[in-house]
Amino acid sequence: MTLRRSLLALAVATIAGLGTLTVPAIAAPTAVRSEPVHSYTDAVRETVWVDTGLTAPDGDRVRVAADIVRPRTAAKVPVIMDASPYYLSRGRGNESQKKTYDNAGRPIRFPLFYDNYFVPRGYAVVLVDLSGTARSNGCVDVGGRAEVASVKAVVDWLNGRATGHTSATGPATAAATWSTGAVGMIGKSWDGTIANGVAATGVEGLKTIVPIGAISSWYDYYRSSGAAFTNGGPASLAAAVENEQGAADCGAVKAALTKGSPSSGDLTPMYRERDYVQAAGKVRASVFVVHGVNDLNVKSINFGQWWAALPPTVERKIWLTQAGHVDPFDFRRPVWVDTLHRWFDHYLLGFDNGIEDEPLSTVEEAPDRWRDDSSWPAGTPLTLRPRPGRSAEVGALGADAPPAGTVAALTDNGSTAYDWITNPAGASSARVVYRTEPLTSDIRVSGTSTITVTATSSAPAARVSAVLVDYGPATIRDYRSTGEGIRTLATRSCWGESTAGDSACYLDTATATTTVTENVIARGWADLGHYAGLDHRRVLAPDTAYTITFTLATTDQVIRAGHRLGLVIGGADTRHITSTGGSPRLTVDLARTALHVPIANTD
């Protein structure tokens, strides 16, 4: 069957995506909802230092600071927790808010809107300083055992299983007698990453997590199938957020991070320890994933592999935006606050509001245009093969493989994917490009693509990049701009109650768009020397073909009728990954190269 007929058939058929989770038929939610009946001004504000059971390099027990704001009530309340390394360094949210304290050290400002909105509605909000940051002692180990164990200890303390103290070093204890023990963790980026890690311990009392733009495997934050990203290393990230004590005492921890992250791109024991996907089977909490499919900081493979690894018994929901590394409070604010409110009401207060029966996935198809579905991902893998066209470097993408021995060559010259995708009909020594015929109907790429590349390198080391491109005019979120798809306005809107030291009013945002003639919808990178596995990079022999299979970014994008789907293969995409040096020449065996892309209909 030709590609055109295959895609057309897919566009009109009902596609049941492999491995998807289907929810029951949508039921109308009830009106049950928590209301703002408690005074935010009179709320209890305190700090408890929780003993993590760990020992710091100076021999002291590690205690993490948990800043708490809770209703002044005799009733027990559930907890919304955001554990972060950023509260006194980079800050949180679009306005980079930091915690503030009075002269006695009592917390005054709690960043983000969670406290202002949810405390009056009967929730406590607990903001935890990760070990080695802000007012916690210990060391920053970048998603390792210390960070996960320290936050897990706070969940245990809220359930009466760990010891809390009224000061950083003193013996006086504090019990969470006010807590129901029900905890929901939320956070963007590193914060959401720790939520994933704590959930993967299966800790009792953690009822739900809401990871936003979160990492599921730190290897996949710093590496891609052996290729090193240009985002530095874990030791430099630790140094950026650690407090003065950590800077003085935690040199050995940072040295271990550096040793465990070699430039070879090998998957080391250090990275295996920080792979929460492998422990996803322990997750008992419900999971509400939010991610930008154009997130070039925390690449979207992180949510794709996490979602796929969750046990089928885990109740879940997913929001995907066309923006980059952006919080939903800044790309869909009113709907987000309402949805999050009902999510926490259900999983932390036990309200029967029907949210668990609402559409499982919400995907932004185009700027500010959203679709709901009962399952995700929607795509079924379709195998596409590159074939030569007018020249070896510019060809067709279809269902049929080219004859054995068909090859194409490229030279890694240090350029980027943005250079490669322009002028697709022209020859270029830096890349090869293959495109379908213009599509006769809309198709949807929904899920995680993989590619198998067979290539010979002129050098003992080489990188391979693969880029999936939508060729055709479109207006998209401007995810490559400073705001990554949003603009910050001068006006403010308020979400909850304010005090003199903690405002509930935040700068409004609007969608930032741009017009394009081609758009990258998924990209992946690999080091060819890892063809036999990620544990060890091998030296490439000349005139020897090596086959490697690697993933492209998880995505959900609609390609319109009349557009072409393109595959571009190049060397080191230096916008994202480091080069091996020199200018390796790659000869790609097209007969042994195949793209597997998840295609769905758009009905």
CATH number of the domain residue 208 falls in: 3.40.50.1820
pLDDT of 26 strictly over 80: no
pLDDT band at residue 131 using 50, 70 and 90 as cut-offs: very high
Please indicate, yes or no, whether residues 8 and 131 belong to a single structural domain of this protein: no
Chain centroid offset of residue 169 CA: 36
Name the percent of the chain lying above pLDDT 90.
92
Mean pLDDT is lowest, of 22-31, 189-198, 214-223, for 22-31
DSSP 483: T
Nearest partner of 287 among 265, 312, 257, judged by Cα: 312
Where among 343, 370, 397 does a domain terminate? 370
Chain centroid offset of residue 602 CA: 25
Please indicate, yes or no, whether residues 366 and 223 belong to a single structural domain of this protein: yes
Domain range for 130:
44-370
Angle between the N-to-C axes of helices 145-158 and 190-199, in degrees from 0 to 180, rounded to the nearest 10: 70
Q: Is residue 36 part of a domain?
A: no
295 is catalytic: yes
Q: Is residue 26 part of a domain?
A: no
pLDDT band at residue 391 using 50, 70 and 90 as cut-offs: confident
Please indicate, yes or no, whether residues 412 and 348 belong to a single structural domain of this protein: no
Give the number of other Cβ atoms within 10 Å of residue 234's Cβ: 25
Nearest partner of 264 among 228, 218, 234, judged by Cα: 228
Strand partners of residue 507: 492
pLDDT of 48 strictly over 60: yes
pTM: 0.94
Query: Who contacts 435 (Cβ-Cβ below 8 Å, separation ≥6)?
Result: 395, 396, 397, 424, 471, 564, 565, 566, 567
First CA to last CA distance, the chain: 23
Please indicate, yes or no, whether residues 248 and 274 belong to a single structural domain of this protein: yes
Please indicate, yes or no, whether residues 487 and 385 belong to a single structural domain of this protein: yes
Q: Is residue 222 part of a domain?
A: yes
Pull the structure tokens for residue 135.
């007012």
Name the percent of the chain lying above pLDDT 70.
95
Q: Is residue 32 part of a domain?
A: no
Strand partners of residue 474: 516
pLDDT of 16 strictly over 50: no
CATH code, domain carrying 479: 2.60.120.260
Q: Which of 179, 189, 217, 300 is catalytic?
A: 189
Residue 360 — φ and ψ, nearest 5°?
A: -70, -35
Q: Is residue 33 part of a domain?
A: no
Q: Is residue 109 part of a domain?
A: yes
Rounded to the nearest 5 percent, the helix, strand and coil shares of the chain are 20, 35, 45
Where among 351, 370, 389 does a domain terminate? 370
DSSP 36: -
Where among 354, 370, 386 does a domain terminate? 370
576 is catalytic: no
Please confirm whether the linkage preceding 438 is cis (ω < 30° from 0).
no
Q: Coil, helix or strand for 175? A: coil
Angle between the N-to-C axes of helices 251-259 and 234-241, in degrees from 0 to 180, rounded to the nearest 10: 150
Please indicate, yes or no, whether residues 50 and 135 belong to a single structural domain of this protein: yes
Q: Which of 220, 295, 470, 573 is catalytic?
A: 295
If you average pLDDT over residues 561-570, what whole number do you get?
A: 98
pLDDT of 389 strictly over 90: no
Please indicate, yes or no, whether residues 210 and 75 belong to a single structural domain of this protein: yes
pLDDT band at residue 427 using 50, 70 and 90 as cut-offs: confident
Please indicate, yes or no, whether residues 260 and 310 belong to a single structural domain of this protein: yes
pLDDT of 17 strictly over 90: no
Give dist(CA 588, CA 579) in Å, integer: 18
Q: What is the pLDDT of residue 342?
A: 98
The beta-carbon contacts of 253-257 under 8 Å, at least 24 apart in sequence, are: 253/57, 253/139, 253/140, 253/141, 257/141, 257/142, 257/233
Please indicate, yes or no, whether residues 350 and 456 belong to a single structural domain of this protein: no
Q: What is the pLDDT of residue 394?
A: 83
Please indicate, yes or no, whether residues 383 and 316 belong to a single structural domain of this protein: no
Please indicate, yes or no, whether residues 263 and 404 belong to a single structural domain of this protein: no
pLDDT band at residue 412 using 50, 70 and 90 as cut-offs: very high
CA distances from 89 to 146, 254, 297, 304, 506 (A): 20, 18, 19, 30, 20
Q: What is the pLDDT of residue 18?
A: 31
Number of continuous H segments (helices) and E segments (strands) in the chain:
12, 29
If you average pLDDT over residues 317-327, what whole number do you get?
A: 98
Q: Is residue 37 part of a domain?
A: no
DSSP 77: E
325 is catalytic: yes
Q: Is residue 405 part of a domain?
A: yes
DSSP 450: E
If you average pLDDT over residues 279-285, what whole number do you get?
A: 98
pLDDT of 8 strictly over 50: no
Q: Which of 291, 325, 346, 563 is catalytic?
A: 325
If you average pLDDT over residues 68-94, what whole number do you get?
A: 98
CA distances from 338 to 319, 342, 355, 362 (A): 14, 6, 11, 14
Please indicate, yes or no, whether residues 383 and 323 belong to a single structural domain of this protein: no
Per the structure, how many domains does the chain have?
2
